[in-house]
Amino acid sequence: MTATVAAIDLGATSGRVVRAEVGRGVLRLDEVARFENRPVRIGGGLHWSVLGLYGSAMDGLARASREGAIASVAVDSWAVDYALLRRGRMLGIPYSYRDDRTAHGLELVDRIIPQPELYARCGLQRMPFTTINQLAVDRETGLLEAADGMLMLPDLFGYWMTGRRVAEATNASTTGLMRLDGSWDADLLAALGIDASFMAEVVEPGTRIGPLSAEAREHFGVEGAPDVLAVGSHDTASAVVAVPMEEGAAYISSGTWSLVGIETPAPIATPEALAADFTNEGGVDGRTRFLKNVMGLWILTEAVRTWEAAGERIALPGLLAAAAEVDWAVPVFDPTDAAFYPPGDMPARIEAWFAARGQRAPRGRAEVARSILESLAEGYAVTLRDAARISGQRVERVHVVGGGSRNALLCQLTADRTGLPVIAGPVEATAIGNVLVQARTLGAAPDSLEALRALVRDTADLTTYAPRPRG
Ligand code: ADP
Ligand code: LRH
């Protein structure tokens, strides 16, 4: 038996709708729609166009449904962002995690609970944009007072599609408000002045949220009557489902962000993990994603955007080819520095990073691009060594999935700096993880994550990069 399902996969730069056929030994994906996603600055805030995204996603779903009946659909997106609700209606426009109010949010939360104590409760890397920090700002501005509930963005879409409010577990684990045991942290919520009824019921990936509403079907012209399912609605959780890994492997989910780590059977919120600033995010089937956010290709994208603002079009393949030609040792910076979070002039920030340390900064586009990639690769290497040391797990191979798996230079530098073979692919891991969990729910794919990963291994296009000897 095979199942035909649709994935709505929302990335920070683009969203896509994928139609897939999944069964034992079968995994076929067809991208039926792709649409731009960019935050919009209004009134001093950086916001997501959630209505536009929802409309584009539903149009894509309608297109997918016209090619033949779809049994189910599920949504995943980037983590941490949310909508506030009042009596079931969206209140205000959701903020982007790149809005710079988050730095202040971090200070507000520090006043409520010291980081080591927060870490012991929720086990998350200290990052300005974590939901709890954003909610602390909403509280200060009075917005929270007007709200009686919130939903993470994939749950918001699920609610609009079905009328049912849920909090999918993997994404809820990125809020900083969920305990390591997977329940909402009532004490922390109370400390923020939030009533327990504010949060929706937590559901696991594989839960049926409900049938797609008649409103959605009629307004967007979706044919048939697909069920809306919960999957790993945090995109990274879905991506990790589709990493074709076996024991002894680590992964890098590489796109706008680089999420670098391993899968562990349980959270590791020890003082060593805190010191290395690792996150414990909830994975599918109760696994833990023990990883670190190492900033990602965002730095390169923003650098290109800055250069293009001067009027010249820069093609990524050409820039990467020039960066590969650089045959001297380039200076390396810490890509996880908070200076690189907000949108802006990355080449100037990189220069400032080196200037502040009295070091030579890279010069010219090729060297800057190479420095960004070397710095990311070095960040990955340090992170993977820390992951192995802290967890006691072996790390013998590294899988790279997502758009960054297409960056051959970065994959090679990662192999060189980790000293480990790098296996690149699949590019669309997130959408694959999304459809696999749906198909499993429908009884059309195997039960265990290991068997799902074997299916990816058997069907995906993978490229291996061997580490080069240091010369
Ligand atoms: P997200 O889902 O976070 O928006 P993706 O997984 O789609 O991100 O990855 C996007 C990134 O992948 C781009 O920023 C770019 O750096 C990289 N990428 C995509 N295609 C290529 C390519 N052909 N060559 C090199 N890099 C690529
Ligand atoms: C990747 C991602 C990542 C989070 C970030 C906010 O898209 O979900 O896992 O750290 O966005």
Tell me which DSSP letter residue 51 carries. Answer: H
The alpha-helical segments, DSSP class H, found in 271-407 are 271-275, 298-308, 316-325, 346-356, 365-391
Q: How far is the CA of 256 from the centre of ligand 1 (A)?
A: 7
Q: Ligand 1, from 9, 10, 13: best to mutate by most atoms within 8 Å of Cβ?
A: 13
Counting ligand 1 atoms within 8 A of each CB, the residue from 406, 411, 412 with the most, and so the one to mutate, is 406
d(CA 413, CA 424): 13
Is pLDDT of 349 > 80? yes
DSSP single-letter state for residue 309:
T
pLDDT above 90 covers a percentage of the chain that reads: 98
pLDDT digits (tens, 9 = 90+) for 119-166: 999 999 999 999 999 999 999 999 999 999 999 999 999 999 999 999
Which ligand is nearest to the Cα of residue 401, counting in written order?
1
* Nearest ligand to the C-alpha atom of residue 176: 2
* Each residue's pLDDT tens digit, 361-373: 999 999 999 999 9
Q: Which fold has domain 39-233?
A: Nucleotidyltransferase; domain 5 (3.30.420)
Instruction: Tell me the average pLDDT across 217-242.
Output: 98
Pairing of strands 40-42, 149-152: unpaired
Secondary-structure breakdown of the chain: helix, strand, coil percentages, each rounded to the nearest 5: 40, 20, 35
Which are the catalytic amino acids? Answer: 235
Q: Atom 23 in ligand 1: which residue has the minimum CA distance?
A: 406
**Among protein residues, the one whose CA lies closest to atom 25 of ligand 1:** 407
Q: Where are the domains of the chain?
A: 39-233, 245-425
Of 1, 32, 5, nearest to 434 by C-alpha is: 5
- Please name the residues in contact with 309: beta carbons below 8 A apart, sequence gap of 6 or more: none
Whole-angstrom Cα distance, residue 85 to residue 143?
10
- Is the pLDDT assigned to residue 310 strictly greater than 90? no
CATH superfamily of 245-425: ATPase, nucleotide binding domain (3.30.420.40)
State how beta strands 258-264 and 249-254 pair: antiparallel
The reply to whether ligand 2 has any atom less than 6 angstroms from the CB of 152 is no
Place of tokens 């509930």: 149
Q: What is the pLDDT of residues 86-127, one digit of tens each?
A: 999 999 999 999 999 999 999 999 999 999 999 999 999 999
78 lines ligand 2 (CB under 6 A): yes
Q: Report pTM.
A: 0.98
Which residue puts its alpha carbon closest to atom 7 of ligand 2?
78
Residue 423: phi and psi, rounded to 5, are -110, 115
Q: Mean pLDDT score of the chain, rounded to an integer? A: 97
Point out the ligand 2 atom lying closest to the alpha carbon of residue 293: 10
Q: Which ligand is nearest to the CA of 259?
A: 2
Closest atom of ligand 2 to CA, residue 80:
6
Q: 236: Cβ below 6 Å to ligand 2?
A: yes
Is the CB of residue 97 below 6 angstroms from any atom belonging to ligand 2?
A: yes
Residue 312 pLDDT grade (very low, low, confident, very high; cuts 50, 70, 90): confident
CA 37 to chain centre: 14
Q: Which atom of ligand 1 is nearest to the CA of 300?
A: 16
Structure letter (DSSP) for residue 281? E
pLDDT of 470 reads 79
CA 366 / ligand 1 centre spacing (Å): 18
CA of 110 to the centre of ligand 2 (A): 22
Q: Do domains 39-233 and 245-425 have the same CATH topology?
A: yes
pLDDT tens-digit map of 425-451: 999 999 999 999 999 999 999 999 999
Answer whether 79 contacts ligand 2 (Cβ < 6 A): yes
Q: How many CB atoms lie within 10 A of CB 319?
A: 19
Residues lining ligand 1, judged by CB closer than 6 Å?
Answer: 11-14, 255-256, 297, 300-301, 316, 402-404, 406-407
What's the confidence (pLDDT) of residue 314?
96
Query: Of the bound ligands, which one is closest to the alpha carbon of residue 233?
Result: 2
Which pLDDT belongs to residue 471?
66
Span 175-210, pLDDT tens digits: 999 999 999 999 999 999 999 899 999 999 999 999
